[in-house]
Amino acid sequence: MQTDTDGAALREAAALIKKGEAVAFPTETVYGLGADGLNGAAVRKIFEAKGRPSDNPLILHIAGKKDILKLTSGLTKQAEILIDKFWPGPLTVIVAKSGIVPDEVSAGLDTVAVRMPSHPVAAELIRLAGTPIAAPSANISGKPSPTDAETVLADMQGRIAGIVDGGACEVGVESTIVDTTGEVPVILRPGGITREQLEEVLGKVELDPALAGVEAAKPKAPGMKYRHYAPKASMYVVEGEALAKLPLLAKEAANFAPVAVICGEVAESMQRTQNLHILNWGSAKTDLAVKLYRMLRRCDKLGVQLIFSEGVTEDGIGLAVMNRMRKAAGRQVLTLDEIEALLKNSSQLKSFVLK
């Protein structure tokens, strides 16, 4: 079932959720794959459809701020401030969980992730279902998150009971996750609400060390340990001073295999050829956020061998975008020195492209 967002269609989708089925729906961040968050058997269907490891917990989506109270054994002051300031919106809080949250949702942790989305379709669906909706992104595990219904369909056809088509998502990257259970709030995943916005209301906010690529013995957000958002091609981030050499590198690399460049500013000094695909997001970082996942999937469709992606500075939404871009690239970066060495030696460049 692929539905519109009119009243009857939403009632049908809500009925499926109440019956314990999994249904995809739009939010302001990305499309979610939802099931009744208080029904363990229903939640297991999400894990099956995505092929998601069962130790990676889900976010519970609610339609009203007060609905968090029955999901938690108590909110800290920081959680209250964040809920007051940023809900509804792309912010998830980690709080101590109450007894009604099934282990399938929290993956056995004593905390639970909760968010109140601002997308009117999501809000209405949750309200009609009358239960918190557990929902990760509606993609096959490890692939880029879907930001439109067609992409959900490509991954989930035959695996789920329905898709509510609400058009393209506004933010394009997932929610910011903040652990509010400790003394100082910790960003576990950067997202639609920026670090600067959080600092404005909370004062001190820490970034989880795993975000810098430091392997924690036990990551706070279990999702941190999995490779994410990965395209099929080998991908490299190029940023800062190295960007000046990106147009030449891409042009030369395309002599050996199909190459794609995901870029903004450097787009104007690049020339598309049969083997060189230029995916231009424009000039604003918010546009990159909206388009990044779609561009990664486009690279898969083009069948390129190699992707170069222009990095942006990590202020504002740049922190979230670069977190996803680096993960998609498996943390591979090309420095100016490395690019210059490749450009000096054509056989080295060839084996770099073809490896």
Residues of the shown chain interacting with ligand AMP in the complex, contacts defined by CB under 6 A: 56-59, 94, 106, 109, 111-113, 136-137, 174, 177, 188-189, 220-223
Sole binder of Mg ion in the list 3, 111, 118, 137 (CB under 5 A): 137
Nearer to ligand AMP, 228 or 294 (CB): 228
78 binds, among ligand AMP, Mg ion, none (CB under 5 to 8 A by kind): none
Q: How far is the CB of 74 from ligand AMP (least distance, A)?
A: 15
222 binds, among Mg ion, ligand AMP, none (CB under 5 to 8 A by kind): ligand AMP
Q: How far is the CB of 307 from ligand AMP (least distance, A)?
A: 22
Nearer to Mg ion, 140 or 168 (CB): 140
Q: How far is the CB of 65 from ligand AMP (least distance, A)?
A: 19
Q: How far is the CB of 138 from ligand AMP (least distance, A)?
A: 9
Q: How far is the CB of 141 from Mg ion (least distance, A)?
A: 8
Of all residues in the shown chain, the one whose CB is closest to ligand AMP is 223
186 binds, among Mg ion, ligand AMP, none (CB under 5 to 8 A by kind): none
Binding to Mg ion by residue 147, rule CB under 5 A? Answer: no
Nearer to Mg ion, 78 or 137 (CB): 137
Q: How far is the CB of 223 from Mg ion (least distance, A)?
A: 7
**Reduced 3-state DSSP string for the chain:** CEECCCHHHHHHHHHHHHCCCCEEECCCCCCEEEEECCCHHHHHHHHHHHCCCCCCCCEEECCCHHHHHHHEEECCHHHHHHHHHHCCCCEEEEEEECCCCCHHHHCCCCEEEEECCCCHHHHHHHHHHCCCEECCECCCCCCCCCCCHHHHHHHHCCCCCEEECCCCCCCCCCCEEEECCCCCCEEEECCCCCHHHHHHHHCCCEECHHHHCCCCCCCCCHHHHCCCCCCCCEEEEECHHHHHHHHHHHHHHCCCCCEEEEECHHHHHCCCECCEEEEECCCCHHHHHHHHHHHHHHHHHHCCCEEEEECCCCCCCHHHHHHHHHHHCCCCECCHHHHHHHHHCHHHHHHHHHC
Nearer to Mg ion, 33 or 279 (CB): 33
Interaction site with Mg ion (CB under 5 A): 136-137
